[in-house]
Structure 1
Amino acid sequence: MRIQKKLNNNVVVVKDGAIEKIVMGRGLAFNKKNGEEVDEAIIDKVFTLSNKDTANKFQELIVDIPIDHVEIAEQIISYAKTQLGKKLNETLYISLVDHIYTAIERFLNGIVISNTLLWDIRRFYPDEFAIGLTALDMIEERFGLHLPDDEAGFIALHLVNAEIDENSVKNMYQITKVMQEVTSIVKYKFHIEFDEDNVYYYRFITHLKFFAQRLLSGTSYEDEKDDDLLNVVKKRYENAYSCVKAISKFIFEKYAYILSNEEELYLTIHIERVINKMSKY
């Protein structure tokens, strides 16, 4: 296998015959150049993603993420496939790697976000939640960090989302319409065009999908413990929060749906992140 592109010292894109693969191993690309052979003896993981768009986003994401975090996410996905016996969308490699990384970073910085969907997740998705709990055990064994059960719920949601065959979801058109409306407000507010191939845009859109699903089902979640955090975020990210208030007004007028504090909090954070990243390109 020859190196086609170096992502960092531990991750490279290779061509194995006609097949493009993402290969991981500690020090795999150190002092290596494109076109050189990889040392197969130190390869730890090989990812073969059939969807080129997903593969590109995965490559972009893992550039700045520690190899340990990618490996534990892949271990969780492999376990989930075995336990569920279902085909999981390849985008799970993006969403779960990103979530594991950010969850660990938040925890190490003393930030714990409660999952107000936790009770519903336990009830409606018991198999996925059980996998989420096992995932927390895997993380604790590897990193010595005891993450709260809230994170098991978040992991379960990523699994559920990966199980969805979007072509069979009856209200996918409506979900897409809501997502388009919200992104239009953001684009108008900040006078930008999104790079739809960018991983940060993808994270934002994934969040909007969950939001649209709640909106169309008429399910809103409120957690008073998020009030203090929302007050901090709306002061720190004033422009993003102003955009969220415009979205809130539009959603209420068109759908008679009131955004909870938690929804305003997460939307503000996601909008700030995607706008901040877009401005750097």
Structure 2
Amino acid sequence: MIITRLLNNNVVITLDSNDEEIIVMGKGIGYQKSKGDTIDEEKINKVFRISNKEVSNKFQELFNKIPMEHMKLSSEIIEYAEGVLGKKLNDGIYISLSDHTYTAIKRIKNNITVKNALLWDIKRFYKDEFKIGMKALDIIEEKTKIRLPEDEAGFIALHMVNAQLNEEQPQVQGITKLIEEILTIVRINFRIELKEESVFYYRFITHLRYFAQRLFSNNTYNGDSDDELLSIIKGKYPKEAQCIDKVKLFISKKYNYELSSDEYIYLTIHIAKLLQDSKL
């Protein structure tokens, strides 16, 4: 491997076998080296392959202000998260998470804590991501001997949520608020408290997350509408359909978003299963 750009003594830019740019990390890998020199491959302990050029440039800038150990720490958390979620996260997570964890550790060292106003909602609506956040606190403590507060697990969870969305600047707070608003309509309509540990509740929340993402990105679900199926669903689940009518009216007025027939059907079926689980 030939150095194409030297970032610092521990990080260099080179090309892989397919002539694609990669960021290579290793203690002293760039020491007394220049552009065009050969890399000692035995010193490589981490390789970053970031396809997005803009993200790659920002990531390279980050190396100038964040120690190598913190970059490796974030990379370990991201690899763990991708294994748990079973998907590749957006490249931007390398920047946002590295910057966040580095700043969070600096704050704790200076006895500064930041409360996470969304922590309760994060625990409820993003359970998998919050578990990743808690595991991240374990990883950080193991590597740095510093234990970050639970609020930071919530912040890390939000970074994981962001990294799963396709938007460049996903409105996570808006998505979370919309989910709570729809749940409130369901609770008031049926005068019940939903079983938050139920698998049906989990599936409903998951569906609402993707629905809210579509709403905020103006991306209406355009499946093959089936008016006959919609009529059957309304006839089979009249109470649930009346509830979705309220949801439909609410989001139309507040968010200027028209619920499609397919979304109407899916939401109605999810609520029907929630009610069956609550034995109503």
TM-score range, shorter chain: 0.5 to 0.7
Quote the sequence identity (%).
Answer: 52
Q: CA deviation at 1:31?
A: 0.5
Q: CA deviation at 1:164?
A: 0.8
- Give the corresponding residue for 1:134: 135
Query: Is the Cα–Cα contact under 8 Å of residues 2 and 16 in structure 1 kept in the other structure?
Result: no
Query: Is the Cα–Cα contact under 8 Å of residues 162 and 172 in structure 2 kept in the other structure?
Result: no
d(CA) in 2 for partners of 1:4, 1:64 = 21
d(CA) in 2 for partners of 1:113, 1:210 = 21
Deviations 1:123-180 (A, max 9, x none): 00000000100000000011000110000000000000000123xxxxxxxxxxxxxx
- Give the corresponding residue for 1:31: 32
- Give the corresponding residue for 1:247: none
- Give the corresponding residue for 2:103: 102
Describe the shift of the 1:127–1:3 C-alpha distance in structure 2 as closer, same or farther (beyond 3 A).
same
Query: Is the Cα–Cα contact under 8 Å of residues 10 and 26 in structure 2 kept in the other structure?
Result: yes
- Give the corresponding residue for 1:116: 117
d(CA) in 2 for partners of 1:161, 1:80 = 13
User: Aligned pair 1:4/2:1, yes or no?
Assistant: no
Query: Is the Cα–Cα contact under 8 Å of residues 5 and 12 in structure 2 kept in the other structure?
Result: yes
TM-score (norm 2): 0.61
- Give the corresponding residue for 1:148: 149
Give 5+ residue unaligned stretches, structure 1: 167-204, 220-255, 257-281
Alignment size in residue pairs = 181
Residue aligned with 1:59, SS? helix
Query: Is the Cα–Cα contact under 8 Å of residues 121 and 176 in structure 2 kept in the other structure?
Result: no
Q: CA deviation at 1:110?
A: 1.1
Describe the shift of the 1:75–1:211 C-alpha distance in structure 2 as closer, same or farther (beyond 3 A).
closer
Query: Is the Cα–Cα contact under 8 Å of residues 158 and 172 in structure 2 kept in the other structure?
Result: no
d(CA) in 1 for partners of 2:86, 2:176 = 30
- Give the corresponding residue for 2:76: 75
Deviations 1:60-79 (A, max 9, x none): 11221111100010000000
- Give the corresponding residue for 1:225: none
- Give the corresponding residue for 2:93: 92
Q: CA deviation at 1:213?
A: 3.2
RMSD: 2.3
TM-score (norm 1): 0.60
Deviations 1:217-237 (A, max 9, x none): 599xxxxxxxxxxxxxxxxxx
Q: CA deviation at 1:215?
A: 11
Q: Quick one: which amino acid aligns to residue 86 of structure 2?
A: G
Q: Quick one: which amino acid aligns to residue 22 of structure 1?
A: I
Give 5+ residue unaligned stretches, structure 2: 181-253, 255-280
